[in-house]
Amino acid sequence: MSALSVSSLPTSVSKTPMEVLVKGKIDARRRHESTWYTRLITPAADAYSRPQVVEIRSKSKLGEVGEETTVGCKLGGYTRKPFRSTDKDTGEVTMVTPVDLTLDAIEQ
């Protein structure tokens, strides 16, 4: 399998490493201390697939529930506590480390 190079991406996609453009409808939002958490539902790829759901952290409101918005975000992530997993077919025990992705709005 060949690696995807940044230069082969469509021009509408950011070419800055670790930055993404998210477009969708605001489904919900909440505030914890000074940070807003906004849940967006993105358009489905086609009539037979489900829309993706993401949550974006920001210092200011990204809009009202029901509004459509486009947000530039910085992609991040972290690992959670590893756990043991046993393969049901072979009985092999492996350690699995879950990884959670984060999206932080790029605010000027």
Cβ partners under 8 Å of residue 14, min gap 6? 20, 21, 72
pLDDT tens per residue, range 19-71: 999 999 999 999 999 999 999 999 999 999 999 999 999 999 999 999 999 99
pTM: 0.77
Q: List the domain boundaries for the chain.
A: 18-105
3-class SS at 24?
strand
- Kindly tell me if the per-residue pLDDT of 13 is higher than 80: no
Q: Could you say which architecture CATH assigns to the domain 18-105?
A: Beta Barrel (2.40)
